[in-house]
Amino acid sequence: MNENLFTSFITPTMVGIPIVLLIIMFPSILFPSPSRLIDNRLVSIQQWLVRLTSKQMLSIHSHKGQTWALMLMSLILFIGSTNLLGLLPHSFTPTTQLSMNLGMAIPLWAGTVATGFRYKTKASLAHFLPQGTPFPLIPMLVIIETISLFIQPVALAVRLTANITAGHLLIHLIGGATLTLTSISTITAFITLTVLVLLTILEFAVALIQAYVFTLLVSLYLHDNT
């Protein structure tokens, strides 16, 4: 194959202008606001899934944490729909860009930390120094806990980027191998095609699971600070 392996991860442009903003805004079309007295099946299924997910995710939160319900549901819908749309042929997946994932993770993480310092100042500061720590180890533990706190948004972004990118690369490689093997061995090509189909089904599951994991971790950070 002459095509570069990472070509699909390059931000698309139109007349030299990046169109990533249009791609990011596109998933909002898939979730229309209900305007009828009786919704159709698609809207009913969407609303049922949103209610089920929000009930499960917000059950551990206090009243202060439940005020983030709209933000968390919007986040999981956006990431999930973006990941699924990225599996379509000749499409672009914004969540494969570390810069975009950091742009989501850092403000959300900073919001949860700021909420904790505002409403639970003593408890938030206590996380930097576990109870019963020997005096000589206090400076070292404070530094370690501070570093672990600032690593949280980076871990969120890198986890999402790595999982989505790895899946796309595997599909690209196995698809290319299947195309090459069709002229060499039909049986081997059929086996590779079967693996490709199974991997694609797995990637659909990974796309939804990663959206849930990202949002769940933000929810847990919020729970620790409210």
Report the mean per-residue pLDDT for the chain. Answer: 81
pLDDT at 198: 92
Average pLDDT (101-123) is 87
Q: Where are the alpha helices (DSSP H) in 16-95?
A: 20-25, 41-58, 63-66, 69-85
> What local confidence, expressed as pLDDT, does residue 125 receive?
78
Which comes out higher in pLDDT, residue 15 or 41?
A: 41
Dump pLDDT digits (tens) for 135-180.
787 788 888 888 888 899 999 999 999 999 888 888 888 888 888 8
Say how far apart CA 32 and CA 43 lie, in whole Å: 8
Tens-place pLDDT, residues 213-226: 999 899 888 888 87
Q: How far apart are CA 224 and CA 148, in angstroms?
A: 14
Q: Give the model's confidence band at 67: pLDDT under 50 very low, under 70 low, under 90 confident, else very high.
A: confident
Local confidence band at 1 (pLDDT 50, 70, 90 cut-offs): very low
Give the whole-angstrom CA distance, residue 17 versus residue 79: 24
Environment class of 24 (CB within 10 Å of its CB; exposed 0-12, middle 13-18, buried 19+):
middle
Which pLDDT value is given to residue 2? 47
User: Dihedral of CA 203/208/211/213: which sign?
Assistant: negative
Rg (Cα) of the chain, in Å, rounded?
22
What ranges make up the beta strands (E) of the chain? 13-14, 17-18
What is the reported pTM? 0.79
Q: What is the mean pLDDT of residues 94-120?
A: 87
For residues 34 and 85, the answer to whether their CB atoms sit within 8 Å is no
In the chain, what is the straight-line distance between the N-terminal and C-terminal CA atoms, in Å? Answer: 53
* Strand (E) or helix (H) holding 96: none
Picking from 213, 207, 212, the residue whose alpha carbon sits closest to that of residue 86 is: 207
Q: Is the pLDDT of residue 6 over 70?
A: no
Tokens 């000589």 sit on residue = 136
